A = this chain, B = another copy of it.
Amino acid sequence: MARIRHRSLDCSPGCAVEATLQLIDGKWKGVILYHLLAEAPDGALRFNGLRRRMPNVTQRMLTNQLRELEADGFVHRTVYAEVPPRVEYRLTARGRSLEPVIRALKAWGDAHAALPTETEAA
């Protein structure tokens, strides 16, 4: 598993929230997970396939985040011994279990486009 980003959890019941956030935190992890989830049914994506869907990520960071997702057991990496090389990324069962979380994040983002609306003010 990836290194602990934040040393200690302060375990009140809120601890679970904190713990989950730590795992999907990392600038690109949420989006990666989203794209893998979106490729139904057994959504496998290749490295450059992911890059194409995320124009602003550098290879260094994409590799980096994928490795962490792999270490945390969310993503499985399949390397085909071919030339040119082919590598596929797909979600593990654990990765798929994050679907409700990602859906909630996306739903909220879609609904509350960016800025606070006036009706939400108070």
List residues of chain A with CB under 8 Å of any chain B CB: 1, 6, 8-10, 12-21, 24-25, 27, 30-31, 33-35, 38, 53-57, 72-73, 76, 92-94, 97-98, 100-112, 114-117, 119-122
Contacts and interface: CB of A to CB of B under 8 A. Distances in A.
A1 B69 CA distance: 30
Given A73-B120, A94-B120, A101-B104, 18 more contacts: A1-B115, A10-B55, A12-B35, A14-B53, A15-B31, A18-B31, A20-B30, A21-B24, A21-B105, A25-B25, A93-B119, A93-B121, A97-B108, A97-B112, A97-B120, A100-B104, A100-B108, A104-B105
A20 B115 contact: no
A114 to B, nearest CB: 7
A69 to B, nearest CB: 12
A17 B10 CA distance: 26
Given A14-B35, A25-B25, A73-B121, A20 B53 contact: no
10 contacts: A6-B27, A14-B38, A14-B106, A16-B108, A17-B30, A20-B106, A76-B122, A93-B119, A97-B108, A97-B120
A22 to B, nearest CB: 9
